[in-house]
Amino acid sequence: MSYLNFPQLHFFGTFRADPSTLNNTPDNFNPNNNFPPDNGEEVGNNIQLYWNPNGTAEFQLDCTVAKIRYADGSEATTGAEDPLIGLSLRSLDNSPLGSGRVVDLDPMQQNVTEIWGLQVGIREKSGSSEPLLQGSFKPSAYSNAWVQVKGGRGDYAGSANFQSVLEGVKISDAIKSQFISELCGLGADPTKLSINFVLRAFNSASQQYLVNENTLATMKQNGVSAEAIAAISPLSKLAQGQFQPNNPRAGEIPTTGYFTKLVNERLTGLNIPQQQVDVIMASAKQPPTPPLTPYEFTWGQVFGTLGLDGLPSSAGSQPGHGFGPAPDFLTPDRMLAPAAVLRTNSPPASVPTDSGPYAAYFAPFKVTQYPSPQSDPVAYGKTDGTQTYVSLNLGNSLLSTQPASPTESFVDTSQYGKLALYCFGQTNKVLAPIDYADPAFYSTDSGVVNIRIDNADVEAVQTQPLGLVNLDANNGTSFSTVFLRENERGLYVRPNQFVYRMNPGIEAAPETSRSSAGGKPSGHSNPGTATVEFYVSCFGRPASGVGLVVSLMPPLDAQTYSNNTLGTGGTSGMVNMSVPESALTLENNGMVTTDEKGIATLQIKASNPGNPRGYMDGQIYFLQYEFQDESLRGSYVQSPDDLVSVQVYDAQPDIKDVTWENFVGPVLEQYGKIYPIMSFINLENQQAVAKNAKKIRNVLLSSPLMGGHMPVTRDLSASRLNLIIQWLDQQIE
């Protein structure tokens, strides 16, 4: 439920995300495309490589445990205080489940990228011993993506956060750690932990290669044969972006791995000496692109927090708090929203995804009471022996002037000045300064601020809106700018799960139906109906009886929205989006009301969209939601990324005699062409697929939770899967 509860474990380090970019545009799904195109003047044959066409989809964490805050509020920052400090928190890539994978929902919705198959563990830096703690990351999508580098653009300037849970957690007794003792002894379930982490400063600038008249001439001058030149020259028609006549950047090919792959494929069977191959590589290689971040290609910075999924039995949030079963992807408490822009003091009517004009971004927080330390049984004069903390996550909220490095955050101190947490309403009081400029703010505290509240202010903090302000330089008790502010009524609303895949007419499968490679796929983990849960809170307490209206985003709005997100913006081929609208229906016309636990449930049902996108399966829809009461709606600042994204698959025709020609070949050929990681078997060759039918069958029917599941994009519909399995079974028999 919340990583913000005590105890907290903070980690800092690097991440690797290695997506393949060949599937980044609907245009690349065109079956008429070739590698390279047959005719560089034909738009229909153009392949758009983007920046990492040979990506493996792997996701990795490589972090260090930096700090622990215990249940009583005390801290540990050295190994002498807690032996977990300084250990490695990383992805367990040698797990039987395989490596983690980054997965986009759809080329038309790349702004909810998910992580699947990730195993996380804490172990010795050497990695030679068994993990002291390990668990499975429940697949989750990122949220609140924005341009965090002031004036920046693109991946290097972006920042986003993931929140999920580690399931099936195993804890070793081989180490004496107070943190581990508290996980196991505070009354919450230690086999399920809450985790939140921020990704930023990602380096997508790859090594470039160029095949054009000049580089081909250089190859010839340096002894490359005419036969090899003829084989390589068609690569000059490739492009990283959309087709343009007389494209000055034609022939630019990203990454050493992909260019090597293309060269080897073109020279196969020609018996070209290795010396000539080396000349081809050296002649095409371009001067290095100046790095936009201090990290290696496909690497970036990550920091985050790990904690109990529920509250410790000794703690209590505040009177009336209790949402029932803990949501896995959400902390349903309180939220600071953007309240100031860079150039004006007027509050925003809406928040653009890129957040370009905004001075700070959304920051979740909660107010919690804990027992006082034994050394301080009466905290701030509170006679019941409790202490109250505001735990605020600013890890994804503050602008920087350049991408962060391992030692510097480059937070925009000229803009923020003296930051402080402020209580509005009747109190109007500075609660505490925030030392955001300290390098340890991210590298040690993961951007999480834990502020102990004076007893006299506890009631105000529990019932009045808080904010992030810039203190007046004169006396430090008044503010000049409000950067973030809680809704005046303390309201916060968001769904727990906000990404769905739906197979019309398909019933939900039993839990184990896809985990056994030997069984027939009778059901599916992505059925044709789903229940969306919306959590509504008021100053951190469940808000009952609150009406919400949920609606389908109209097609034109959906296209405009997606074209302007950090994840999908700039993608070509965004046509026929979110049609027909009749393919996704909402129970009771989307009108729902929260129950006593502050939860409103909505049933959604998918029907066959009828292949509106041609050579792309299914359709993408967005659900938008708001308060029914206009008086509540008017003062609520909501990110436009607070949507529910739904992929509805097409229903396939009932083919009695499935053959390679009438179904299997076209589907597998498309996967083989635009998903290089799946090309360990030539999916465009019927004989190769038939020979490996059992192996392919096993990975198709493996659990999607496994890193090695295919397709890596988790986008094969139930009806397509059933038809392919029928054909594969015939090859095995």
DSSP H or E segment with residue 644: strand 644-648
Give the pairing type, strands 58-69 and 75-76.
Answer: antiparallel
CA distance 4 to 194: 9
- Res 426: pLDDT: 86
Nearest alpha-carbon partner for 73 in 456, 369, 383: 369
CA distance 416 to 411: 9
pLDDT < 70: residue spans in the chain: 1, 34-45, 94-98, 127-128, 187, 243, 245, 311-324, 340-357, 374-384, 474-476, 509-524
Give the pairing type, strands 499-502 and 644-648.
Answer: parallel
**Torsion sign (Cα): 211, 213, 217, 220:** positive
- Res 653: pLDDT: 86
CA distance 381 to 388: 12
CA distance 705 to 21: 22
Phi and psi (nearest 5°) for 516? -105, 120
Contact yes or no for 338/360 (Cβ under 8 A) = yes
Contact yes or no for 3/194 (Cβ under 8 A) = yes
DSSP 316: B
User: Amino acid identity of 184?
Assistant: C
- Res 707: pLDDT: 85
- Res 639: pLDDT: 87
Token pair 């907290």 is found at: 8
Q: Can you read off the two tokens belonging to residue 296?
A: 């290696």
Other CB atoms within 10 A of residue 685 CB: 14
CA distance 121 to 132: 7
- What tens digit of pLDDT does each residue of 637-663 get? 998 899 999 999 999 888 989 999 999
**Torsion sign (Cα): 308, 314, 319, 320:** positive
- Res 344: pLDDT: 34
Number of alpha carbons in the 13 Å side-chain half-sphere of residue 453: 25
In Å, how far from its chain's centre is CA 60?
A: 13
Give the pairing type, strands 100-103 and 58-69.
Answer: antiparallel
Q: Can you read off the two tokens belonging to residue 185?
A: 């002894």
